Amino acid sequence: MNEKSPAVRSLLDRREFIRSAATGATIAVLGGGIYRFADEVLNQEAQAAPRADGRPRLPPGQRLLQALKPMGGEPGHPSVSAYRLKVHGLVKEPFELDFRTLLAAGAVDLALDVHCVTGWSVFDAQFRGVRIADLASRAQVLPTAKHVILEAAHGYTANVPLDVALAPQNLVAWQLGGKRLPEAHGAPVRAVIPDRYFWKSAKWLTGIRFVAVDEPGYWETRGYHNRADPWREERYG
């Protein structure tokens, strides 16, 4: 079929119309139905789009949203002047960073997909932070370390294997969408582990601890899956 044929132009125009509806363009006469239809079409397209590892970009059982939803939790202290991040455990050189030093520790900007266990996903969330791997390199993690415990306000923890934690897309982040993290999303600093369900991305982060033996965290000890792989739908243990 020739790309300039009326049939192809009609199809391309329809796809553009659907995408415009899904991204918020004003469509006056068709009401809410077109938005729901557009969301459904784009979710189907996203589910079919492969990642570099061959898995679909949208994990099974997920639907796309335009922005992160605040998912609760007990906030930590929002003051950046009082903030400290402790990197410790099975490392040769433990250290602490205040907020200003953290910002100077080699920031990167990454567009990351995140997936919540409740069934929503957001593509290309714009985070700025420092790679967990860079902090681990500075601390000189010992060979006996096999797991990482992300420590947060009020004793919250989340656990991930060491090889997962050191993947290059994982961050200690202080910006979302070009702005400082809102309190509801973990200000002043949170972890971002995009290839695991989002409860592993501990908000109000205070520490990164390297350990030899796995320590299931807050949600893992309450029935959630220890690995939390969205593509395997590892929601509950």
Distance, CA of 88 to CA of 59 (rounded, Å): 33
Read off the pLDDT of each residue in 49-69 and give the average, rounded to a whole number. 93
Distance, CA of 2 to CA of 228 (rounded, Å): 46
> Is the CB of residue 158 less than 8 Å from the CB of residue 219?
yes
Whole-model pTM: value is 0.81
Least Cα distance to 35 among 43, 46, 47, 23 occurs for 23
Place of tokens 């090889």: 163
Q: What is the pLDDT of residues 130-188, one digit of tens each?
A: 999 999 999 999 999 999 999 999 999 999 999 999 999 999 999 999 999 999 999 99
> Is the CB of residue 130 less than 8 Å from the CB of residue 106?
yes
Domains and CATH numbers, the chain: 6-48 (no CATH), 84-232 (3.90.420.10)
Least Cα distance to 230 among 124, 120, 153, 77 occurs for 120
Tokens of 42: 């784009």
Confidence of residue 47 (pLDDT cuts 50, 70, 90): low
Predicted local confidence at residue 46, as pLDDT: 56
> Is the CB of residue 130 less than 8 Å from the CB of residue 105?
yes
Environment class of residue 45 by beta-carbon count within 10 Å: exposed (0-12), middle (13-18) or buried (19+)? middle
Q: What is the pLDDT of residues 99-124, one digit of tens each?
A: 999 999 999 999 999 999 999 999 99
